[in-house]
Amino acid sequence: MTEVFILDATALISGLDPNIIDRTLWTVAEVIDEIKDPRNKLRIEMAIESKTIKIGRPSATAIEKIKKTAEKSGDIVVLSETDIKILSLALDQKEAGHKVVILTDDYSVQNVASRLRIESKAYTTAGIRYEIKWELYCPSCFHSIEMRNIKRKEIFCEICGTKMKRRPYDKQKI
């Protein structure tokens, strides 16, 4: 059984070096858009070009199942479309018979993964000393605010009243 690592945005924004991980690495294309640091972005793009990181497209069936699971657990409130795709990709890989580990520091991603018996690892505990900064954004008008302490509660956009979602936007050294 091949062990597959799925990388989410928090893993890649933290500056995780894909070249030092001796596993098959996968992510989804949307994650790349969330990497703002130009040097980090270049490194990730090169890793994709050299197939060190593979880009996967999750199935519609898996996306449906992840959304349902996240609705039940309440995590749907904070999960971004990218998070849902990461989880769906992991589910597809698992159902294809691979042993899957999601590398993520996102509590909600970890929570949904565990409900589907998908293993997840917080890589910050593996000696990478960065902490992710988060922002809340409005999926409707794209208004965003910095969020210092993540708590799983619903926050509504002050401009248009839509329920806001969370996304990682930067990192800071601990």
Closest to 169 in 3D by CA, of 125, 58, 142, 17: 142
Helix (H, G, I), strand (E, B) or coil at 133: strand
Q: Give the Cα-Cα-Cα angle 160, 36, 158 (nearest 5 degrees).
A: 15
DSSP, collapsed to helix, strand or coil, labels residue 100 as: strand
Q: Which stretch binds Zn ion (CB under 5 A): 30-38, 95-103, 127-135, 143-151?
A: 143-151
Q: Are 88 and 58 in contact (CB under 8 A)?
A: yes
Q: Is 138 in the site for Zn ion (CB under 5 A)?
A: yes
- Is 113 among the residues that bind Zn ion (CB under 5 A)? no
Residue placing its CB nearer to Zn ion in the complex, 50 or 140: 140
Rounded-to-10 torsion of CA 119, 92, 105, 116: -50
| Contact range with Zn ion by CB under 5 A, out of 24-32, 108-116, 136-144, 148-156 | 136-144
Task: Using the minimum distance from each CB to Zn ion, give the nearer residue, 46 or 160.
Answer: 160
145 part of the interface to Zn ion, by CB under 5 A: no
When the beta carbons of 94 and 166 are compared against Zn ion, the nearer one is: 166
Which of 145, 135, 137 is CA-nearest to residue 164?
137
Cβ–Cβ contacts within 10 Å for residue 114, how many?
Answer: 13
| 159 contacts Zn ion (rule: CB under 5 A) | yes
**Pattern 60-79, binding to Zn ion, x per CB under 5 A?**
--------------------
**Structure tokens given for 38:** 């130009």
Instruction: Establish if 162 lies at the interface with Zn ion (CB under 5 A).
Output: yes
Please identify which residue in 25, 63, 87, 157 interacts with Zn ion, judged by CB under 5 A: 157
Q: Does 141 bind Zn ion (CB under 5 A)?
A: yes
Residue ranges that bind Zn ion, judged by CB under 5 A: 138, 140-141, 143, 157, 159-160, 162
